[in-house]
Amino acid sequence: MNRTPSPVTQVVAIGIGAALFFVLGRFVAIPTPIPNTSISIQYAILAVFAVLYGPVVGALAGFIGHLLIDATGYGIWISWELASGVFGLIVGVLLLRNAVAEGEFGRPLAVRFSVAVVLANALAWLVVAPLGDVLFYSEPANKVWVQGSLAFVSNSITAVVLGLLVLSLYARTRTRTGSLSHDR
């Protein structure tokens, strides 16, 4: 089972996670016909960081990374930055006990990961972001729920598919617990 990373490891993971989130979100986003909404692959990497380093890293890497994207583009939009933080937090909490770092990534964990990603996206993009847009910015509800629905669907698909791939490949690079034996 994974252990809580040291505070230094967590700080480094937050920095690297936020930087990767920013670069992928700023330069690899796929535009959609819905204004200010794109197909984003950075949520797969955020989910991986949340699985490997925990919910605090997931929440802060998502929030800071999204803040950097918005600060260099659309302008600060706190409801969406919070939604990214919520996504990382929820995935991290729902996958607290896993053995990916020990080389274990079987079907049960893959299913658990997929469910966690979909639930986290639902909370982030169907509740937090649209509700925040309506409450903080007086945005029209129908507009923000369309944006949130697209973000929910596209982020769920990309994060599940790419996240499963990355975690599976990562687990294969790790030595499985108990796989080494001593010959006498």
Confidence band, pLDDT 50/70/90 cuts, at residue 100 = very high
pLDDT over 70 percentage in the chain: 94
Write the single-letter amino acid at 130.
P
Q: Which two tokens stand for residue 123?
A: 């909370």
Q: Which two tokens stand for residue 106?
A: 């079987």
- CA dist list (Å): 149 to 58, 126, 141, 152: 22, 6, 12, 5
Fold of 7-173: Arp2/3 complex 21 kDa subunit ARPC3 (1.10.1760)
* Residues 3-24: tens digit of each pLDDT: 778 999 999 999 999 999 999 9
Of 42-46, 74-78, 133-137, least confident by mean pLDDT is 74-78
pTM of the model: 0.91
* Residues 112-123: tens digit of each pLDDT: 999 999 999 999
Return the SS3 of 52.
Answer: helix
Q: How far apart are CA 86 and CA 38, in angstroms?
A: 19
Average pLDDT of 130-134?
Answer: 96
pLDDT at 180 over 60: no
H-run or E-run covering 38? strand 38-39
The CA-CA-CA angle for residues 130, 134, 140, to 5°, reads 95
Instruction: Look at residues 4, 14, 24, 1 and name the one whose alpha carbon lies nearest to residue 159.
Output: 24
pLDDT of residue 179: 56
List, in order, residues 6 or more apart from 176 with CB less than 8 Å away: 102, 103, 104
pLDDT of residue 70: 93
pLDDT of residue 175: 77
Q: How far apart are CA 144 and CA 118, in angstroms?
A: 19
* Residues 37-74: tens digit of each pLDDT: 888 999 999 999 999 999 999 999 999 999 999 999 87
pLDDT of residue 4: 77
Confidence band, pLDDT 50/70/90 cuts, at residue 184 = low
pLDDT at 107 over 70: yes
Return the SS3 of 119.
Answer: helix
Return the SS3 of 37.
Answer: coil
Confidence band, pLDDT 50/70/90 cuts, at residue 178 = low
pLDDT at 183 over 60: no
pLDDT at 104 over 80: yes
